[in-house]
């Protein structure tokens, strides 16, 4: 099934507004599918910032979006950055700041970048550097990036803010040998819940996208032998767009694909 935006041209008049949308982990998988879906719901003059480590894959995605972006008067920029580093986070914030003077009425930050990590017995994780490296990308960078973006786009009349945390059922369920993944997802869920109660002007959603047809599921099958029967990224991206457009979720809530 195609992830292309031409499959979902809106007909009901709803939009995400004149928006600056930042998607991390945008070069492949769910992030790439989201880029195609988001484009359909942005008003002319909106800005789409695509963040990932691979310049080649980002440029390929930008080319895929080019026709629609020109037609809808959207600006699409690629940010090549490793978000596990301070330098990478700073670069993403720097590029966003360049767009902060534009007359946007909505900031949408989708924290999608993440990794699976090692799946091993609890007692095997004795290397602090290995654990810290994993947590840096999967927890710390999302916190620092979100905080930086909040500073770039401070509260003002007429500006709405939405933050999406790509989560998992394992943010709330423990699974043997998945200590890194479960810990990171649980920490992120709480982290963004704190944002929701601390910043009432920011709409916060933790969204569990379900098992997706991505490299991560292939790694899970290889490492565990478990086939989760993944489905196309587009299916879940469409459901996330529905949640954002309906905008009737309680800020800070955790919603699973299968409940939408």
- Is 14 part of any domain? no
pLDDT at residue 61 tops 90: yes
Pairwise CA distance, residues 253 & 250, whole Å: 6
Against a cut of 0.75, is the pTM above it? yes
> How far is 29 from 166, CA to CA, in rounded Å?
13
For the segment 212-226, what is each residue's pLDDT rounded down to a tens digit? 999 889 999 999 999
* Digit-coded pLDDT (tens) for 115-172: 999 999 999 999 999 999 999 999 999 999 999 999 999 999 999 999 999 999 999 9
* Domain range enclosing 134: 19-256
Q: Is residue 1 situated within a structural domain?
A: no
Residue 120, Ramachandran bin (φ over 0: left; ψ between -120 and 50: alpha; else beta): beta
For the segment 178-198, what is each residue's pLDDT rounded down to a tens digit?
Answer: 999 999 999 999 999 999 999
> Residues 256, 208: contact at Cβ < 8 Å?
yes
> Does residue 198 form part of some domain?
yes
Q: What strands, in cross-sheet order, belong to the sheet with 75-80?
A: 75-80, 47-52, 19-24, 106-111, 160-166, 202-208, 253-256
Query: Looking at the domain assignment, is residue 174 inside a domain?
Result: yes
Asked, for residue 132, whether it belongs to a domain, the answer is yes
What is the distance between the alpha carbons of residues 220 and 222, in angstroms, rounded to a whole number?
5
CATH number of the domain that residue 195 is part of:
3.40.50.720
Domain assignment present for residue 7? The answer is: no
* pLDDT at residue 13, rounded to an integer: 79
For residue 12, pLDDT over 90 is answered with no
Do the domain assignments include residue 151?
A: yes
pLDDT tens-digit map of 102-122: 889 999 999 999 999 999 999
C-alpha–C-alpha distance, residues 121 and 99, integer Å? 45
Give domain status of residue 4, yes or no.
no
Domains in the chain, number: 1
């Amino acid at each position: 099934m195609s992830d292309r935006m031409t499959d979902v041209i809106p007909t009901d008049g709803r939009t995400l507004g004149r928006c600056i949308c930042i998607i991390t982990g945008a070069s492949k998988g769910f992030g790439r599918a989201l880029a195609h879906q988001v484009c359909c719901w942005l008003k002319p003059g909106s800005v789409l910032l695509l963040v990932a480590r691979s310049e080649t894959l980002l440029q390929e995605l930008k080319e895929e979006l080019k026709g629609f972006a020109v037609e809808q008067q959207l600006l699409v920029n690629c940010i090549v950055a490793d978000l596990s580093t301070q330098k990478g986070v700073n670069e993403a914030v720097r590029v966003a700041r360049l767009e902060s003077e534009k007359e946007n009425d909505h900031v949408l930050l989708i924290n999608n970048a993440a990794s699976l990590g090692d799946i091993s017995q609890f007692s095997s994780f004795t290397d602090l550097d290995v654990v810290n490296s994993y947590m840096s990308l999967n927890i710390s960078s999302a916190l620092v990036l979100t905080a930086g973006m909040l500073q770039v786009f401070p509260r003002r009349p007429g500006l709405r803010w939405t933050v999406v945390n790509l989560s998992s059922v394992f943010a709330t369920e423990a699974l043997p040998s998945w200590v890194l993944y479960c810990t990171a997802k649980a920490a992120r869920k709480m982290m963004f819940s704190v944002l929701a109660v601390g910043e009432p002007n920011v709409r916060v959603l933790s969204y569990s996208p379900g098992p997706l047809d991505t490299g991560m599921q292939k790694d899970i099958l290889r490492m565990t032998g478990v086939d989760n029967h993944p489905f196309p990224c587009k299916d879940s991206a469409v459901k996330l767009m529905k949640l954002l457009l309906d905008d009737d979720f309680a800020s800070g809530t955790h919603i699973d694909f299968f409940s939408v």
